[in-house]
């Protein structure tokens, strides 16, 4: 119509800018060993969504994988580039049980049994990472074997070394003397003596520290002698039974399991 006009409503359109692409920084190296971790930090303090669904401006990572962070502000999202984390496994390390029972006055000797080869030993009585000195170790000592692989990852294995206090003590076995059962699982055992050469005998039991833990004087010993002894109140371990007469001394080792 002539002379008439209309006016439209005003529509305001807001275009939100995309947030800046987030950048991931790390607390340390992203290549490490199992059991360790690294912290990933987002350059944005708000709107973060990490791989796996965690939110926040940082993420603690302990597993291998590719990690990214998406930042959403005002409905617009920007994704960071991936950060790859590599977690190397620990080497499999074993240490065989020690089959020798050294005396406390024995000379130092090389330790063996740790696998893979090339690791080091540690513990009380161990020197230079390879040598065990019985004289400076306790009665039962844990020896640890440590191996580090090419990735720098370390693992350990431990085995006990039993040291016997046997200075001045030697085991004199005789077919005329029997100690049974040996080992004993109850602490109860028997001593038999055939063709005894004396009518009196002192029975002593000595622990691996050299301490006398049992003593009894037996009189009127017959030619075929037998005695049951109960040491179940004592700790499990290695003991020495010393049979002393006026003409001879016999010593035998007893194991209490």
Q: What is the pLDDT of residue 177?
A: 81
- The 10 Å CB-count burial string (b at 16+, else e) for 58-91 is bbebeeeeebbbbbeeeeeebebeebebebbeeb
Per the CB < 8 A criterion, the answer to whether 197 and 174 are in contact is no
pLDDT number for residue 198: 73
Q: In the sheet that 24-26 helps form, which strands lie side by side, from edge to edge?
A: 24-26, 38-42, 58-61
Measure CA 204 to chain center: 37
What are the per-10-residue average pLDDT scores of the chain (257 residues)? 65 73 95 97 96 96 97 93 98 92 82 96 93 80 95 96 65 68 91 78 81 86 84 88 78 85
CA distances from 247 to 118, 200, 224, 250 (A): 53, 10, 17, 10
Q: What is the pLDDT of residue 144?
A: 97
Peptide bond into 181 cis (omega under 30): yes
Contact 131, 110 (CB under 8 A): yes
Question: Shortest CA distance to 57 belongs to which of 68, 43, 67, 36?
Answer: 43
Spatial CA neighbour of 163 closest among 211, 113, 100: 100
CATH code linked to domain 177-256: 2.60.40.3080
Residue 200: per-residue pLDDT: 84
What's the distance, Cα to Cα, between the start and end of the chain in Å?
Answer: 116
């Amino acid at each position: 119509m002539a002379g008439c006009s209309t006016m439209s409503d005003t529509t305001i359109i807001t275009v939100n800018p995309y947030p800046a692409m987030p950048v991931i920084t790390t607390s340390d190296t992203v290549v490490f060993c199992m059991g360790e971790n690294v912290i990933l930090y987002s350059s944005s303090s708000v709107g973060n969504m990490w791989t796996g669904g965690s939110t926040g401006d940082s993420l603690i990572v302990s597993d291998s994988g590719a990690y990214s962070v998406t930042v959403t502000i005002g409905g617009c999202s920007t994704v960071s580039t991936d950060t790859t984390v590599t977690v190397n496994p620990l080497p499999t390390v074993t240490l065989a049980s020690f089959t020798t029972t050294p005396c406390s006055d024995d000379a130092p000797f090389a330790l063996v049994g740790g696998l893979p080869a090339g690791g080091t030993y540690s513990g009380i009585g161990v020197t230079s990472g390879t040598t065990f000195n019985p004289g400076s170790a306790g009665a039962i000592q844990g020896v640890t074997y440590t191996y580090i692989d090419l990735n720098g990852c370390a693992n350990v294995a431990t085995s006990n070394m039993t040291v016997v206090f046997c200075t001045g003590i030697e085991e004199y076995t005789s077919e005329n003397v029997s100690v049974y059962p040996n080992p004993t699982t109850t602490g109860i055992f028997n001593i038999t003596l055939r063709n005894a050469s004396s009518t009196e005998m002192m029975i002593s039991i000595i622990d691996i520290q050299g301490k006398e833990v049992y003593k009894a004087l037996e009189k009127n010993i017959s030619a075929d002698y037998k005695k049951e002894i109960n040491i179940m109140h004592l700790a499990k371990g290695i003991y020495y039974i010393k049979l002393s007469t006026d003409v001879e001394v016999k010593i035998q080792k007893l194991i209490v399991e």
